[in-house]
A and B are shown apart, each in its own frame.
Chain A
């Protein structure tokens, strides 16, 4: 298994197509095998709390009796761990260590070494909470992997023991929506990969999936590599990447194929908003969805009706409203719900799994819930901000505060929205909690001080995500702890094919583990946060529940308020295509839904002659472009007009398409009918 591990670390050296599939593949099989052997572990066994009370040494002594057996059986384990001791620091930091001789590294290894073998850890006396069940068990970690889960584990001596004292041991959070490098007018977010992942770890999130946002015209691959490079240097926790598709054309197709096959990307975001920048028309969406479905990718949708948003923005600016309140005014809830509805319709038609990012309003969430009830394969993602706060702050007299809340789709002004979304999350109608963390400083936000459309969009939330889900859903009694694990990590891991490597505490899974303290309570403030943004939209809110200790890749990175994150420790986690969770149903529907024509005799009755009327030659440009208020005089195509060779025509204002889209049946079409 450690071989396996090293392959991930050094995946650059391997043929990429090998590096991608292996991790989940092998782990998957091993996990189930090992996990089932543990299944009996919790019957008729009790944890001897008295022994723990004596202390670490006391707890270790009784085990010494069974130690020889362990050493016999676990010889290879010992070997790999010693390898790991030398190998793992260099491995995990990868090439970046060469660049920055590790100040951070020595610090952390110095801290670990007194406890004994680095990379070996035993979490004792915790209640292991997965999305399906909770059980009292110890967790033994070695080499960044969970090796054993159960009671009375036989572990080698000299392991560092962490006392969970009955607290919950949960899989580290997976935050599937962050934008830590998304530029706005050339400005990078205040929180880059370093600060963002530090904040994530401090909040109990041990993996992020960040959005690669290429500009239209930019190569997706280049953008991806740029993001990956930056993240490899800076990220403190494991990460993966979504790639946004800013436009649709043939080159993009090739790049997408490459990204899916070789780079381990299985999710792509398309935009229905940002007219004339990122927005795709319905036809393009249809094509994109069909293509991505063949590749086995999950399609993320930013769902807002961009046409109407653009119109509303114009209107609001014309009315003289330039402050941040113009943002929610120009993006009313209906536009979000409408786009969600349309996205789901497209998804249904193409039979492609859809993932709606940032569900911000009740009606959008209800639309998703209804579609799921009708059997659509669609997932909805609530974000920290939408679960906790509402859009009333846009009307704040304090410009900086109002601007800090600007995100798209905007927070709904309806104060009952957070409660409603929490309820839907608890009952499974929404599946995932992201953060949509994209923190800009007030001075960056001030780019739009005279025009709300220029305010960079994004709020913080990566650090507070887990805590607020606990506070708003579990502490309120809407959700149980298992569902909490499901929405904060397991579901996301399943949808994006990281499961069971992430999102589960089971032998073979990555040692991304959080010891969760449901009783802790803290007040959110920008002063005490890890994120560098100067304004926290949750400022002053109290939050029950928080991580007591966070393990990332088997290392303690956060303990009782102290963060020991290591820059560049995060690894890129490749994700295989065709995630089962999303695609199983799609595959069988594909087979079920084959369409058949009716076999008829040939029609032999009279056929009306179509008078060849050379009509308007002018299909409109692909339908969703701007209104035609001032159309230019197009160059008249002499081939298309048989009537006049020159001069203005009555239909000159109509734009002309360079090419016709001709629907031709197989075998061609008869001359008479092709003129229509």
Chain B
């Protein structure tokens, strides 16, 4: 508690931002902003404010809501290694780039409890994060037992988004059935499903093939993760989400065709959102063929950067027209030494690139200065949309009275050159090295505190707050709710069929379907629960019933619900009873 108090003390600051042009996602206007106690208290001209207020001069610059980065991995270990940039360095870099809220991914290793992992992440972040943060949960092994934990997380812990992997076969991958079930549960609880969309089965095969061919360098990564594989998974995820009527958020849209699939699905009315990242907006995958191993390896991430050099422009255009909605960084930086774990085998290279610091500038440079986007849309894709989707709007993502005082003073005229020497991360390689970006955050205010001014970062470790997010975000769930009501399928009332019914004779040749090497042991073992019913049949097993028995087997195979089964059972038992009494 003392910790909390200390934080609020720090926030008891008063600020006035003068002369700037306030830019929200819907409009821009000239006004001053008065900040007190970490929230925005007044907006307008000629404000009446107490004396001795720190004044921030914003003449000629834009006053925008602090950026919201909806995808970071600052604590996610890969092969036991934690990223080089943890919550402290990561959020520090975020603030220096104008991002004041991050949403980090909690990777729940298979077999561990969701709550445990969540608490661990939260504790770490509470101690280290310099800006406000929120958490997504990555569910690596779905089973129905997770429902309770999910409910707790959503209702009590303020997590409303969960990521599923369609890749990383035999490790994190979820099957279509699992996704469908999970999406159904998430819909009922009011959460947003996120997917890492790549077809893990194909990737696995391609990796084997490439290693067999003797390709072990980082170029093998992009060769084994072809664009189509991403596109296919996006298409499948969209289909599943449509069937389950669950909102879907596709993380890391890296290729044109995947973006197209999302755009098309949206045109058909499916509730789906797409997130390009800093790297996919700023650079392409040609670097995987770099002669310098360290450079090539630094670009390794999944889905990989696309080799097509026109991809960044294309994604920017889709972002500008609203087909893609959110930009994030997918920050997960590993040092060259860590990447070198995979120096002899590209499948072992830890995946992830930097981008948390450059995100806002990249969007400004690529979209706004080129005329694809206006300043309001810039605000929308860098903060407002993400806040709306994940239900922290209007607390974040808007400059309005009552909102958090996460404010960035944006200087559109200034430029800066990205370099690993000057960036605020610890990694040695910056994938955007040498890029000149127009548009720079000149002043950053996080929680009412000026953390960046005159190029100087002044952050306090552990000053970030956890931002809980409620279920059923309006921006997403209004449509979903209405559709749930509409989508009731109805049967046709018919008279009973009274015609002849063909006898099902179980032929000796027809082998009951026995999944042999397919690893489909689950249906079998599931059936074991219903042993009572099954054995009831076999005990009664006269010749007459063999056909029905195969029927039942088929039913068990498809694991229908118990009630139907028991109806069947009682029918057959009744018939048997009649027979035996007659006999």
Query: A: which residues have CB within 8 A of B?
Result: 183, 185-187, 215-218, 247-249, 275-277, 281-287, 290, 305, 307-308, 310-314, 316-323, 325-326, 329, 332, 334-335, 337-338, 341-342, 345-346, 348-349, 395-400, 402, 441-444, 446-447, 449, 451, 453-454, 595-598, 600-603, 605-608, 610-613, 615-616, 618-632, 650-651, 653-655, 657, 661, 663-666, 669-670, 672-673, 675-676
Q: In the assembled complex, how far is the CB of residue A640 from the closest CB belonging to chain B, in whole angstroms? A: 13
> Which residue of A248, A307, A443 contacts B501 across the interface (Cβ within 8 Å)?
A443
Count: A-B pairs, CB below 8 Å: 349
How long is the Cα–Cα vector from A265 to B79 in the complex, in angstroms? 47
Closest to A622 in B: B519
Contacts of B292 in A (CB 8 A): 600
A619 touches B171 (CB 8 A): yes
Q: Are B211 and A665 in contact (CB under 8 A)?
A: yes
A283–B502 Cα distance when bound, in Å, is: 38
A276-B515, A654-B111 in contact; A632/B499 too (CB < 8 A)? no
What chain B residues lie within 8 Å of A281 (beta carbons)?
201, 518
Q: Count B-side interface residues using an 8 Å CB cutoff.
A: 118
**Chain A residues within 8 Å of B217, by CB:** 597-598, 600
Q: Which residues of B contact A311 (CB under 8 A)?
A: 177, 180-181, 243
Query: Can you show 8 pairs from A to B with CB atoms below 8 A apart?
Result: A217-B511, A323-B492, A335-B239, A451-B555, A620-B173, A625-B519, A666-B212, A673-B341
Are B558 and A619 closer than 8 Å at their CB atoms?
A: no
B521 is an interface residue with CB less than 8 A from chain A: yes
Is the CB–CB distance between A597 and B177 below 8 Å? Answer: no
Determine if B80 and A611 form an interchain contact, defined as CB atoms under 8 angstroms apart: yes
Cα A661 to Cα B348 with chains together (Å): 15
Q: In the complex, what residues of B have CB within 8 A of residue A651's CB?
A: 110-112
Partner of B551, one of A185, A284, A307, A628: A185
Given A276-B558, A627-B181, A663-B211, residue A400 in contact with residue B516 (CB < 8 A) = no
3 tightest A-B CB contacts, nearest first: A619-B170, A651-B111, A282-B201
Q: Does B229 contact A (CB under 8 A)?
A: yes
Known A311-B181, A627-B177: A332·B204 in contact at CB below 8 Å: no
A310 to chain B, nearest CB (A): 6
A346 to B205, CA, bound (A): 11
Known: A277-B557, A676-B79, A676-B341. 15 other contacts (CB 8 A): A185-B547, A186-B550, A187-B504, A277-B513, A314-B558, A321-B491, A341-B235, A453-B558, A613-B80, A615-B80, A624-B177, A663-B347, A666-B212, A672-B341, A675-B79
Bound-complex Cα distance A408 to B488 (A): 23
Q: From B177, B201, B499, B560, give the contact of A317 (CB < 8 A).
A: B560
B180 touches A307 (CB 8 A): yes
Known interface pairs A215-B513, A319-B489, A616-B109; A603-B340 also in contact (CB < 8 Å): yes
Q: A446-B500, A628-B143 are in contact. Are A215 and B511 (CB under 8 A)?
A: yes
On whether the beta carbons of B220 and A446 are closer than 8 Å, the reply is: no
Q: Determine the distance from Cα of A621 to Cα of B555 in the docked complex, in whole angstroms.
A: 22
- CB-CB under 8 A from A613, the residues of chain B are 80
In Å, the complex CA distance between A598 and B492 comes to 63
Instruction: Confirm or deny: B455 has a beta carbon within 8 angstroms of a beta carbon on chain A.
Output: no
Complex-state Cα separation, A538 to B214, whole angstroms? 58
**Is A607 a contact partner of B340 (Cβ separation < 8 A)?**
yes
B30 at the binding interface (Cβ < 8 Å): no
Contact partner of B497 (CB less than 8 A), chosen from A321, A342, A399, is A399
Most A CB within 10 A of own CB, among B202, B207, B341, B497 = B497
Interface residue B141 (Cβ < 8 Å from any Cβ of A) = yes
B378 touches A (CB below 8 Å): no
Q: Output the least CB separation between B329 and chain A (Å).
A: 23
B6, CB-defined interface residue at 8 Å: no
- Complex Cα distance, B264 from A334, in Å, reads 13
Asked, given contacts A619-B171, A650-B112, whether A600 binds B293 with beta carbons under 8 Å apart, the answer is yes
Q: B interface vs A, CB < 8 Å?
A: 79-81, 109-113, 141-145, 169-171, 173, 175-178, 180-181, 199-202, 204-208, 210-217, 219-220, 223, 226, 228-229, 231-232, 235-236, 239-240, 242-243, 289-294, 296, 335-338, 340-345, 347-348, 489-492, 494-497, 499-502, 504-507, 509-511, 513-523, 525-526, 528-529, 547, 550-551, 554-555, 557-561, 564
**A338 surroundings in chain B (CB, below 8 A):** 235-236, 239
Q: Which of A276, A319, A322, A443 contacts B520 (CB 8 A)?
A: A276
A331: min CB distance to chain B, Å: 11
Contact A600–B291 (Cβ < 8 Å) = yes
Across-interface contacts of B506 in A (CB, < 8 A): 185-186
B502–A308 CB distance below 8 A: no
Contacts of B170 in A (CB 8 A): 619-620, 622-623, 657, 661
Instruction: Tell me the minimal C-beta distance from B489 to chain A in angstroms.
Output: 5
Once the chains bind, are B79 and A349 in contact (CB under 8 Å)? no
Q: In the complex, A442 Cα to B501 Cα: how many Å? A: 8
CB distance from A629 to the nearest CB of B (A): 4
Q: How far is the CB of B292 from chain A (nearest CB, A)?
A: 8
Best-surrounded residue of B145, B214, B291, B513 (most CB of chain A within 10 A):
B513
A270 CB → nearest B CB, Å: 13
The answer to whether A447 and B504 touch (CB under 8 A), given A286-B202, A603-B340, is yes
Contacting residue for A608 out of B177, B208, B340, B560, CB 8 A: B340
Structural contact, A402 and B81, CB atoms closer than 8 A: no
Q: Which of A449, A669, A676 neighbours the largest number of chain B CB atoms within 10 Å of its CB?
A: A676
- Complex partner residue of B343 from A249, A397, A603, CB under 8 angstroms: A603
A299 CB to closest chain B CB, in angstroms?
Answer: 15
- Asked whether, in the complex, the Cβ of A664 is within 8 Å of the Cβ of B231, the reply is no
Choice from A217, A317, A349, A595 contacting B213 with Cβ under 8 Å? A595
Known A443-B501, A627-B178, A669-B344; contact A332-B243, beta-carbon cutoff 8 A: yes
Q: In the complex, which residue of chain A has the Cβ closest to the Cβ of B223?
A: A595
Most chain B beta carbons < 10 A, residue from A186, A399, A602, A672: A186
Q: Hey, which chain A residues are within 8 Å of B216, CB to CB? A: 597, 665
Could you tell me if B337 and A608 are in contact, using CB atoms closer than 8 angstroms? yes
Which residues of B are found within 8 Å of A320, using beta-carbon distances? Answer: 491
Q: Which interface residue of A341, A657, A675 has the most chain B CB atoms within 10 A?
A: A341
Q: Are A308 and B513 in contact (CB under 8 A)?
A: no
Q: Contact between B523 and A626 (Cβ–Cβ < 8 Å)? A: yes
Whether A655 contacts B345 in the complex (CB less than 8 A), given A321-B489, A605-B337, A616-B111, comes out as no
- Among the listed B336, B492, B523, which residue makes an inter-chain contact with A395, where contact means beta carbons less than 8 Å apart? B492
CA distance A280 to B500 in the complex (A): 36
Q: What residue of chain A has the Cβ atom nearest to residue B84's Cβ?
A: A608
> Which of A334, A650, A675 has the most CB atoms of chain B within a 10 A radius of its CB?
A334
**Nearest CB on A from B461, distance (A):** 24
Chain A residue nearest in CB terms to B211: A665
CB contacts (< 8 Å) of A444 on chain B: these are 502
Residue in contact with B342 in the complex, picked from A276, A654, A673, CB distance below 8 Å = A673
Given that A337-B239, A349-B226, A607-B337 are contacting pairs, would A597 and B215 also be in contact in the complex, using a CB cutoff of 8 Å?
Answer: yes
